[in-house]
Amino acid sequence: MSSEDVAEAPAAAAPAPAADVAELSVPDALKEVLKKALIFDGLRRGLHECVKALDRGTARLCCLAKDCENPEYTRLVRALCEEGGVHIIMVNTRQQLGQWAGLCKIDAEGEATKVVPCSCAVVTDFGTESPALTVLMEHLRKGGE
């Protein structure tokens, strides 16, 4: 095996991670980002914690459930995000956001049980750079919600 063959092998393997990033959907990327933020203690859940983070200016990303029952709640969070220049991502249900934010038990099969609904979650620390964060930030730059 010549030195040219060794140089070509890593180059052929390099495009594979880019393909993984392209295959990652925005909801899957958000799920991974929330999980990593939870690990690094950078996730605030619930109205009280989220409003404090948004008011202090430490929030970097806000997730809001589309099926939030209280319109004042939604208006308050949207206004604080707009004031602080924080991106908002809408999640379909409170149950889904609660599960992604770690407000559930995981059974032996790896399925979420006893999910506590969550209308709002704010990321204050993304943790480490990841392909999921790249996908999410690219989606937000394009104006996605």
List pLDDT tens digits, range 44-71.
988 899 999 999 989 999 999 998 888 8
Q: Which of the four pLDDT bands, split at 50, 70 and 90, describes residue 145? A: low
Closest CA to 74 of 60, 84, 88, 86: 88
Amino acid 10 reads P
Residue carrying the six token digits 């991974």: 32
Model pLDDT, residue 79: 93
- Domain residue limits, the chain: 25-141
- Strands 105-106, 61-65: pairing is unpaired
25-141: CATH architecture: 2-Layer Sandwich (3.30)
* Sign, CA torsion 39/121/31/95: positive
Percent of the chain with pLDDT over 70: 83
Helix (H, G, I), strand (E, B) or coil at 145: coil
Residue carrying the six token digits 């939870």: 38
Judged on CB neighbours under 10 Å (0-12, 13-18, 19+), 64 is buried
Backbone angles phi, psi at 49, to 5 degrees: -65, -40
